[in-house]
Structure 1
Amino acid sequence: MTAAPDAILAELGFGRAHHRTLHWIARRPGLKVGELLAILGITKQSLTRVLGPLIKEGYVAQVPGSVDRRQRLLTLTEAGGALERRLFEAQRERLVVAYREAGGAAVDGFKRVLKGLMRDQGREYFDALEQNRQPKPPR
Structure 2
Amino acid sequence: MVTLEVWYDQEPENDFGPGDPPILIRTEAELNDFIDRVLDETKDHEAPAMIQAVNADDPRSAVLQVGLGQTKGFIGYGAADGGWTHGEGDPDERVEYIYMGNVSEVRASVEVSIDGVRQGLVEFLGTGRKPSVIP
More helix by share: 1
Normalised TM-score (structure 1)? 0.23
More strand by share: 2
Normalised TM-score (structure 2)? 0.24
